[in-house]
Amino acid sequence: MAAEGHAPTSGEYITHHLQHWQKNFSFENAKQVGPVDFSVFNFDSLLFTSVLGLAALFLLWLAARKAHAGVPGRFQAAVEILVEMVDNQAKSLIHNEKSRAFIGPLALTVFVWIFFMNAMDMLPVDALPSAWTGYVASTGHDAHHAYLRVVPTADLSTTLGMSTLILLLCFFYSIKIKGLGGWGHELIAAPFGDHWALYPFNFAMQIIEFIAKTVSHGMRLFGNMFAGELVFMLIALMGGGWALTGTGIGLAIGHVLAGTVWTLFHILVITLQAFIFMMLTLIYLGQAHDAH
């Protein structure tokens, strides 16, 4: 992962782990140029997002398939508690029963899916990247450029993609519930009032609100997961320093203690972030049903 002939410095180690496995649209390995580059996509995020999404759907399908009217087992009881929690939140925020038939399962899927993606942060930092590096080296390719990030929610393109989808659903339900004309009138008549002189200001405020909600929805999840991922990398450096030097037993002890404490705390973080994203999804879709 470092230049040939020496062990990676702390900066090189972190820089390598923060680099995505990127491909262009010809499906060739590529590297992003500039803060925003639409000519490449983060293939690792797409891969793990897809696999974990299928895992979330399989888990929920399995729970539905095994459900029975008798005394539930632990798995069924856990899923029933989760379903009831999401259903109660959906009923309190979305009063249209027809819409809730789709939005409730959507919110449940979002919660489980994001929890699974967040939980990838709990894996040892070098486990999957090292295995991937070894595989690339075995194929005769340059292993120094074998990049892999395994936490999809620590990728801004993933979280903003999900929040943008929620925005599109808000547009859909706004039109479905209020009609195109009704929603169009709402865009120019609220929040300052239904007067022709206020229409430009109302419309500008509505656009700003949509952009702010979407960006903050995605950035909140990304920021927390990126910070958590970075802390795990810093903790891994403590153990790496001890392994390379063979001295400083305090580094080894600190690595174990800090890793254990941060992992236990992170269980709360990944669950809370999944819950917050789910709740904001319900809130924003509920707002799309309300008239201003």
Residue 197: strand, helix, or coil: helix
Q: At 139, which amino acid appears?
A: T
How far apart are the C-alpha atoms of 9 and 12, rounded to whole Å?
5
C-alpha pair distances (Å), 79 with each of 75, 170, 203: 6, 27, 43
Helix, strand, or coil here: 41?
Answer: strand
What are the phi and psi torsion angles at 121 (to 5°)? -65, -15
Q: CB neighbours (10 Å) of residue 190? A: 17
User: Which residues have a catalytic role annotated?
Assistant: 216, 220, 224
Q: How far is CA 273 from its chain centroid?
A: 9
Please choose, from the candidates 116, 102, 84, 255, the residue with its C-alpha nearest in 3D space to the C-alpha of residue 172: 102
C-beta of residue 8 within 8 angstroms of C-beta of residue 2: yes
